[in-house]
């Protein structure tokens, strides 16, 4: 709602492009690479009446330039980037929405910065197993694909294992979400249910499939308002 503030943040090894819309509690959207902030613009505008929505391009993607040549990416570094973006916008505890592979970034952020995350909504996160089907599912996204496949997906992100015991103990409320049109034969369906089971919770149904975050922004925005609402926060975890 209203104008969009566009800024750049210098971080170790990269320069991050980020955008801020709206007013209210901070909601950080961590794009599911190889996507960038632009893919979440419609969702951000729909939420800007209720939240200060912060989106950004992950390092090495689109407008977030690396200082040097492409290199293998680490979940821990991307989580630190998310922390730095939150610091740049002056956010205390913030709500965080992740999409697909960025779920690993959100999970690590919740563990490494427990005072930074109030509610983490993890939409269809991947499994640590480097399943080639996961790469094939993203093959239609040509922009940033070479970097994503060469330096994010295969060598490091899918070798990352979330610290389940620590996640169960963090103060953040973790909401594992899944598209209601996703099917058991799909990798994202199986990995989402596996994470929810380990965390002792039940996946939240979101309208659509693996691309629900961008294809059903209106329905998702309304659902997020309910999930992240003040009544839900007062009731605790």
- Inside any domain, residue 235: no
DSSP string, 119-148: EEEEES---SS--HHHHHHTTT--TTHHHH
Tell me whether residue 126 is in a domain: yes
**237, part of any domain:** no
Cα–Cα distance measured from residue 214 to residue 99, given in angstroms and rounded to the nearest whole number? 10
SS3 (DSSP) at 59 = coil
| 103: in domain | yes
Q: Is residue 147 part of a domain?
A: yes
Give 156 or 55, the one with higher predicted confidence.
Answer: 55
CATH code for position 74: 3.40.50.1820
Q: How many domains does the chain have?
A: 1
pLDDT tens digits along 85-134: 999 999 789 999 999 999 999 999 999 999 999 999 999 998 755 445 44
18 token code pair: 């980020």
Q: What is the pTM of this model?
A: 0.85
**Stretch among 109-113, 204-208, 230-234 having the lowest mean pLDDT:** 230-234
Q: How many residues does the chain have?
A: 237
For residue 180, give both structure tokens: 């209601």
187 pLDDT band, cuts 50/70/90, is confident
Report the alpha-carbon angle 192-57-164, nearest 5.
30
Of 168 and 213, the structure prediction assigns the larger pLDDT to 168
Cis amide linkage into residue 34, ω under 30° from 0: yes
Share of the chain above pLDDT 70, in %: 84
Q: Is residue 236 part of a domain?
A: no
Whether 230 has a pLDDT exceeding 60, the answer reads: no
| Full domain range(s) for residue 19 | 4-230
């Amino acid at each position: 709602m209203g104008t969009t503030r566009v800024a750049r943040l210098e971080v170790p090894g990269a320069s991050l492009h980020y955008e801020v819309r709206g007013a209210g509690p901070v909601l950080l959207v961590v794009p599911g690479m190889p996507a960038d902030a632009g893919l979440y613009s419609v969702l951000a505008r729909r939420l800007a009446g209720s939240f200060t929505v912060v989106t950004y391009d992950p390092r090495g993607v689109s407008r977030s330039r690396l200082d040097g040549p492409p290199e293998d990416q680490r979940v821990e570094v991307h989580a630190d980037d998310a922390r730095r973006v939150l610091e740049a916008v002056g956010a205390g505890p913030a709500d965080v929405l992740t999409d697909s592979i960025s779920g690993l970034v959100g999970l690590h952020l919740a563990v490494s910065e427990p005072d930074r995350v109030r509610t983490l909504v993890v939409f269809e996160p991947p499994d640590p197993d480097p399943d080639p089907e996961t790469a094939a599912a993203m093959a239609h996204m040509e922009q940033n694909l070479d970097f994503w496949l060469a330096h994010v997906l295969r060598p490091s992100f899918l070798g990352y294992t979330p610290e389940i015991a620590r996640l169960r103990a963090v103060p953040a409320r973790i909401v594992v979400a899944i598209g209601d049109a996703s099917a058991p034969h799909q990798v994202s369906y199986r990995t989402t249910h596996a994470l929810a089971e380990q965390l002792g919770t039940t996946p939240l149904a979101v309208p659509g499939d693996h691309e629900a975050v961008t294809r059903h922004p209106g329905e998702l925005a309304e659902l997020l308002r309910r999930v992240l609402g003040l009544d839900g926060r007062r009731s605790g975890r």
